[in-house]
Amino acid sequence: MENIIHHYQPVPDKYATWVESIWMVENRDMQNKPIVVLPDGRIDIHFFSIPGEPFQTSLAGIDKQASSTEINAGSRVYGICFYPLAAEYLFQIPLSKLIDGRANLEQGFWDITEQDTEDFELFKDKIHAQLAQLDITNVDPRKLKIFSALQQSQGHISVTELAGLCNWSSRQINRYFNQWLGLSVKAYSSILRFRASFPMLKTGKLFPESNFADQSHFIKEIKKYSGHTPKQLYKNQDDRFIQLSVLK
């Protein structure tokens, strides 16, 4: 990671229902940097500044599997990491067709230009200013309860338990998830459990905690979402699993 510059900044609590973090990655090397992006249950907006190419903005849906890509030499990627409830209340766009996919956004989204991606503090301040202008009303309290419970439990909660918390049927909850996110509650919960294993994998704790039934289940789930064994993720050859590399 010597020539890979990375910044990560959680957002203030008043935005935390919708946004997890603001981040950037810059490749100052003369060669492209191969990376693997792991599923984490989040939605991202990416701003790409790549030498010789037009400035691009894209919306990334929830990933169900790892994807191999590259950070081009001399390029910068700035991003905003959103929680899934943002699909309905911020973007107002169902993301069911963006599972493991991306869609280009119009130039000037949230008034971000290529020059704004030359300085992380400037970018962060502009995003905070955009978030401050959001006027989100009439949020369904049942949905707030569902996503709060999912995050707090790190996916270790059943759809039946969620239904009991919010007085909404399991069928209605799954219908909502499939419509707006493109996957079931069970599938999304499994991704959250996988994401919760990142700190364990980084430190070499290659055995399951309470989120997994046993060692066999742990290995199976890790391979399902990453395509690699827990030991391979821990070794993190060439820092290719960037989400593990940047964990503190």
Q: Residue 69's beta-bridge partner residues? A: 35
Q: How many domains does the chain have?
A: 2
**pLDDT for the residue 209:** 66
Q: Please, where are the H alpha helices in the chain?
A: 86, 120-133, 141-153, 159-166, 170-180, 185-196, 198-203, 215-226, 230-235, 242-245
pLDDT bin (cut points 50, 70, 90) of residue 210 is: low
Query: Is the same domain home to 106 and 188?
Result: no
Is the pLDDT at 146 greater than 70? The verdict is yes
Query: Is the same domain home to 229 and 112?
Result: no
The pTM of this model reads 0.92
Q: What is the CATH number of the domain that holds 199?
A: 1.10.10.60
Query: Is the same domain home to 186 and 125?
Result: no
Last residue of a domain, one of 133, 162, 193: 133
Is the pLDDT at 245 greater than 90? The verdict is no
Residue range(s) defining the domain that contains residue 69: 4-133
| Helices then strands, each counted (H, E), the chain | 10, 8
Q: What are phi and psi of 109, to 5 degrees?
A: -55, 130
**Percentage with pLDDT > 70 across the chain:** 97
What average pLDDT score do residues 61-66 get?
95
Query: Is the same domain home to 125 and 180?
Result: no
Query: Is the same domain home to 128 and 179?
Result: no
Is the pLDDT at 53 greater than 80? The verdict is yes
Last residue of a domain, one of 92, 107, 133: 133
Query: Is the same domain home to 126 and 232?
Result: no
Last residue of a domain, one of 88, 107, 133: 133
